[in-house]
């Protein structure tokens, strides 16, 4: 029995030793890009990439005594256009990073255009494309210079014709790459970069359809572009193309923008990087919009994305800011009834904003100690005296700093402001009572984050304008009321 036990023990250790002798194959790293960049040595070099309109560093490698190093890791880089960056953070040359991320790069800082990349079909195609487009680009630049310098009509016609021909050849070259290499990264990038050609104006029932070229370009602007493709962020042309589309092919009216933003975001939903990037871009763009009323787009984003849980990519401060700004904008959208204001005047009498009978009411939130207000309030008063008073315009001026009532009275007297203004404020005790009851105060309801803040109301106290300059308010008031007064 003892010998039998020894036999099994011996067999166990034999099997264990045999198992250890059979080594499991070591999986190759997902990313293994060797680089030799002479004459640099004993220093760090970097892989950088485009990221929207900016640039960022994506990886680093240490170059040894032989100027050789490796960008290595178990996680692949997001595909796109990358560039090698020196220790001084200067770009050396561009390369493509596709799905195949095991290749070698050999280059010299003195001959950046002659980098040799082996083992990457994407870069073989990209190198040939870069060479051809550079040659054609130089030829086009020369033709453009000759066209600009042409002194006769015949010369202008000749060079214009040659420019059109050269542009067509370049376009055909790109189309040929797309046809021959449909699965390549370069094809994806060329499709995203492409802009539709503007067609000629067709004649429909004997009349020129002048809107057709616009409709055609808009309808085909995003042909063959997938908004969920994260690789597009790693290009210098995707975001400028998106900005041009929103600027030139989408009406600035909020509902038109919302329709486009909704389509783009839903299309990008599965993009791990693209979706949060675009949501953030649209949020920033319409949080402080270029045109009045476009903050409605931000509220759409809040209601349909942020409030439904799309906040995991936000830090706590950003999330707090977005939610607070949304709550501050909800009550003061264009077309909505203005939130109720029942505030006290300088004699402590309550003045209801809704009790003012006027075809137009201008609400002014200001602070008599504010430097900007000291300039703008007298300007408003001058226009009021010169034009608005005769048209029946009322001004409901809210002093947001209740401790400055003496300064307010002095300012009104010193600047000889019109006695027809309704100067009101909210005592701190009343504001504290509202807060204790969980009620929003006028700062929240009217989004008063700066002074002066102005709103224009119609005769029913609906909001018809905000976030305009004094001159723009004047133009709007005159347009609405001057004709009525005859």
What pLDDT score was predicted for residue 9?
Answer: 37
Phi-psi sector, 89: left (phi>0), alpha (psi -120 to 50), beta: left
What CATH number does domain 31-119 carry, 2.60.40.180, 3.90.1200.10, 1.20.1740.10, 3.40.50.2000?
A: 2.60.40.180
Angle of CA points 144, 145, 148, to nearest 5° = 85
pLDDT beneath 50: ranges in the chain:
1-22
Which tens digit of pLDDT belongs to each residue from 411-467?
Answer: 999 999 999 999 999 998 888 888 889 888 999 999 998 999 999 999 999 999 998
Query: With contact defined as beta carbons under 8 Å apart, do 261 and 281 qualify?
Result: no
Q: Which of 471, 476, 470, 446 is nearest to 458 (CA)?
A: 476
Q: How many CB atoms lie within 10 A of CB 247?
A: 10
d(CA 447, CA 287): 12
- Identify the DSSP state of 337: B
Helix axes 274-287, 316-329, angle to 10 degrees: 40
Q: Which of 230, 326, 306 is nearest to 273 (CA)?
A: 230
d(CA 427, CA 400): 10
Q: Which long-range contacts (CB under 8 A, 24 or more apart) does 400-408 make?
A: 400/365, 400/366, 400/367, 400/425, 400/443, 400/448, 400/451, 401/367, 401/368, 401/369, 402/426, 402/427, 402/428, 402/431, 404/367, 404/368, 404/369, 405/346, 407/368, 407/369, 408/346, 408/368
What pLDDT score was predicted for residue 231?
Answer: 96
Distances (CA, A) of 302 to 222, 294, 477: 26, 13, 32
pTM score, whole prediction: 0.84
Phi-psi sector, 461: left (phi>0), alpha (psi -120 to 50), beta: left
Collapsed DSSP state (helix, strand, coil) of residue 41: coil
Query: With contact defined as beta carbons under 8 Å apart, do 52 and 273 qualify?
Result: no
Which tens digit of pLDDT belongs to each residue from 286-317?
Answer: 998 989 999 999 999 999 999 998 888 899 99
What pLDDT score was predicted for residue 6?
Answer: 39
What CATH number does domain 342-481 carry, 3.40.50.20, 3.40.30.10, 3.30.428.10, 3.40.50.1360?
A: 3.40.30.10
In angstroms, what is the C-alpha Rg of the chain?
33
What pLDDT score was predicted for residue 380?
Answer: 96
d(CA 443, CA 327): 11
In the chain the first and final C-alpha atoms are separated, in Å, by 123
Helix axes 238-248, 185-193, angle to 10 degrees: 30
Sequence spans of domains, the chain: 31-119, 125-193, 203-332, 342-481
Q: How many CB atoms lie within 10 A of CB 173?
A: 13
What pLDDT score was predicted for residue 435?
Answer: 87
Non-local (6+) Cβ contacts of 40 within 8 A are 63, 67, 86, 87, 109
């Amino acid at each position: 029995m003892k010998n039998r036990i020894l036999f099994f023990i011996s067999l166990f250790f034999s099997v264990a030793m045999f198992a250890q002798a059979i080594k499991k194959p070591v999986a190759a790293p997902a990313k293994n890009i060797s680089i030799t960049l002479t004459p640099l040595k004993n220093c760090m070099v970097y892989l950088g990439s485009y990221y929207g309109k900016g640039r960022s560093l994506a990886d680093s490698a240490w170059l040894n005594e032989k100027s050789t190093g490796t960008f290595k890791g178990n996680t692949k880089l997001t595909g796109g256009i990358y560039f090698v960056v020196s220790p001084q953070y200067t770009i050396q040359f561009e390369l493509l990073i596709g799905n195949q991320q095991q290749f070698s790069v050999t280059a010299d800082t003195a001959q950046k255009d002659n980098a040799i990349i082996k083992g990457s079909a994407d870069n073989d195609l990209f190198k040939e494309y870069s060479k051809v487009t550079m040659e054609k680009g130089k030829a086009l630049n020369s033709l453009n210079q000759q066209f600009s310098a042409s002194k006769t009509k015949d010369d202008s016609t000749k060079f214009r014709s040659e420019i059109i021909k050269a542009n067509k050849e370049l376009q055909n070259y790109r189309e040929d790459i797309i046809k021959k290499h449909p699965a390549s990264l370069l094809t994806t990038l060329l499709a995203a970069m492409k802009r539709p050609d503007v067609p000629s104006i067709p004649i429909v029932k004997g009349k020129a359809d002048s809107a057709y070229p616009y409709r055609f370009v808009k309808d085909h602007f995003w042909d063959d572009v997938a908004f969920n493709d994260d690789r597009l962020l790693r290009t210098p042309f995707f975001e400028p193309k998106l900005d041009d589309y929103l600027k030139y092919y989408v009406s600035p009216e909020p509902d038109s923008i919302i329709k486009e933003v909704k389509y783009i975001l839903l299309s990008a939903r599965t993009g791990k990087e693209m979706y949060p990037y675009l949501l953030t871009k649209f949020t920033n763009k319409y949080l402080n919009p270029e045109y009045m009323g476009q903050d409605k787009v931000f509220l759409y984003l809040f209601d349909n994305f942020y409030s439904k849980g799309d906040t995991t990519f936000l830090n706590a401060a950003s999330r707090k800011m977005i939610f607070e700004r949304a709550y501050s904008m909800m009550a003061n959208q264009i077309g909505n009834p203005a939130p109720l204001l029942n505030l006290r005047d300088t004699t402590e009498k309550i003045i209801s904003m809704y009790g003012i009978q006027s075809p137009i009411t201008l609400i002014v939130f200001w602070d008599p100690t504010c430097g900007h207000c000291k300039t703008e309030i007298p300007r408003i008063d001058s226009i009021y005296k010169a034009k608005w008073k005769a048209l029946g315009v009322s001004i409901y001026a809210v002093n947001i700093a209740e401790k400055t009532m003496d300064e307010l009275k002095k300012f009104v007297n010193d600047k000889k402001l019109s006695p027809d203004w309704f100067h009101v404020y909210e005592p701190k005790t009343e504001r504290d009572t509202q807060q204790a009851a969980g009620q929003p105060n006028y700062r929240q309801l009217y989004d008063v984050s700066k002074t002066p803040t102005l709103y224009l109301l119609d005769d029913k106290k609906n909001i018809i304008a905000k976030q305009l300059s004094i001159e723009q308010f004047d133009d709007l008031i005159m347009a609405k009321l001057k004709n009525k007064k005859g």
